[in-house]
Amino acid sequence: MLIDWFTVVAQVVNFLILVWLLKRFLYKPILDAIDAREKRIAKELADAAAKMSDAEKMHDEFQRKNAEFEQQREALLSKATEEAQTERQRLLDEARQTADTLLTKRQQAMRNDAQNLHQELGRVTQREVFAIARKALADLTDASLEQRMVEAFMHRLREMDEQSNADMAHALQTATEPALVRSAFDLTELQRAVIQKALSETFSADISIRFEAAPNLISGIELIANGQKLAWSVADYLASLESAVNDLLKVKN
Amino acid sequence: MHLSPDEIIFWQYGFFKLNATIVYTWGLMGVLVAGSILVTRKLSMGLQRTRWQNLLEIVVGGIAKQIEEVGLRQPRHYLGFIGTLFLFVASAALFTIVPGYEPPTGSLSTTAALAICVFVAVPLFGISENGPAEYFREYLQPTFIMLPFNIISELSRTLALAVRLFGNMMSGTMILAILLTITPYIFPIALSVLGLLTGMVQAYIFSILATVYIAAAAHAREPKIEPDTTIKHEPR
């Protein structure tokens, strides 16, 4: 008989015991370990995914910030460039303006200098000319010249126009002080009498006269009465000449 | 020349006896349990693990995957029974490389015991899955006339399980013993290698057939179609 029933029963028991033992010592711990590992791997994968998504988020954020920063930098740079350009333009303009001003000033100064020089030159020339003229006339002045001057004065007196004549007459009549006759030299008695006579004739009135010598007239004679003046003198000519020369100089400048 | 390790009796007291089958079975049980304890004593839950733990994880994971592929949706529920069947038969075959060892599966008593376990386990799992009424109604399908045939089929496949495993295991050791007397040198080694392969295949077939029977009982409502993968291995 190939089947031994005691052995069969014993083997069934043995097998059931083996099932229990292996369940207890093999399957359960191994499956637990696998489960734990799988759970851990799943967790780690989830963590990794979370980290990845975080990293992606951060990356996006970083990129966005970077772009923003780049944009800002660009804007700032362009603004700075623009400002620098503007500043440069302003400085250039200012410098140009300053240069222009300086140039104008210098030109003005040079023109002024030239004008001053010119004027000075004119003045000096004028003074010299007049000085020479004065000196020459003064040197030439003597009795006969004085006589001629008196005659010239007399002539002017007589040739006065109506208006001047009336004005002078009025002035002589209303004057509180005696009329003043100034001459470059002391008039002789005869000359004084002639002038007195001529005045009396001309204005048909008795006129009191005070004579006075005034060397700065250079050579000449003048009548001053209450603001009115009748004169013939070289100084007058010279003065008119001087004013004419000055006018000329002014026009030239 | 023993036909079965049952015949090697170490100790006997009336009905009780201690034959080689039982002793080697104990030895196998000791090795399996001791190995399991040694490896699982310091299991690593992390990514780093020992080679032995890796081996056991592959074995256990592989068995669970096979059970799932056959069609049982909760392999862990059946892993204890089917996994132990496979491990016991496989290790019994594997230890034939040890001189003087007689595989306990080479005894018809052992294979009958295993077949009886399957024979009992199938309705138990079927009832626990579907309830007794639903399970026993299966025997009346398609008509009540089929009831005796269904019962005969149940019994005969249990017998087939036992005899198939016994024949294969016994023949392996028998052929080896005979060949050792005839051509004592190289040929037995080749046959021994072949025997190892046969043992592994038998372990696979035995456990996968048990799984198929259990799956068929557990899915009583569904049509009884055995997966193709199992049909290929059945005749042996």
pLDDT band for position A219 (50/70/90)?
Answer: low
Give the domain ranges of chain A: 141-252
* Residue from the list B40, B46, B112 with its beta carbon closest to the beta carbon of A25: B40
Work out the minimum CA distance from A44 to partner chain B, whole angstroms.
11
Backbone angles phi, psi at B37, to 5 degrees: -65, -45
Nearest partner of A218 among A200, A205, A237, judged by Cα: A237
Mean pLDDT by 10 residues, chain B (236 residues): 76 84 92 91 79 90 92 87 93 88 86 90 88 84 84 87 82 78 79 86 91 83 48 43
pLDDT band for position A167 (50/70/90)?
Answer: confident
Q: Which chain A residues are Cβ-neighbours of B57 within 8 angstroms?
A: 30, 33-34
Show the domain range for B199.
Answer: 5-233
What integer pLDDT is reported at residue B233 of this predicted model?
A: 43
Does residue A158 sit at the B interface (CB-CB below 8 Å)?
Answer: no
Interface A–B counts its CB contacts (< 8 A) at 127
The DSSP element (H or E) to which A225 belongs, if any, is strand A220-225
Mean pLDDT of all residues in A220-227: 76
B126 within 8 A of B217, measured Cβ to Cβ:
yes
Sign of the CA dihedral running B21, B26, B31, B36:
positive
| Interchain proximity B53–A40, CB inside 8 Å | no
Into how many domains does chain B fold?
Answer: 1
Q: How far is CA A47 from the centre of its chain?
A: 76
What integer pLDDT is reported at residue A1 of this predicted model?
A: 52
In single-letter form, the type of residue at position A91 comes to: L
Q: Which chain B residues are Cβ-neighbours of A29 within 8 angstroms?
A: 40, 43
Rounded to whole angstroms, the Cα distance separating B228 from B231 reads 5
Q: At what angle do helices B147-182 and B186-218 cross, to 10 degrees?
A: 170
Work out the minimum CA distance from B88 to partner chain A, whole angstroms.
8
List, in order, residues 6 or more apart from A134 with CB less than 8 Å away: A218, A234, A238
pLDDT band for position A22 (50/70/90)?
Answer: very high
What integer pLDDT is reported at residue B236 of this predicted model?
A: 43
Partner A, chain B 71-130, Cβ-Cβ below 8 Å:
76, 79-81, 83-84, 87-88, 104, 107-110, 112-114, 116-117
Does residue B196 sit at the A interface (CB-CB below 8 Å)?
Answer: no
What integer pLDDT is reported at residue B59 of this predicted model?
A: 92
Q: How far is CA B41 from the centre of its chain?
A: 26
- Burial of A22 per CB tally in 10 Å (0-12, 13-18, 19+): buried
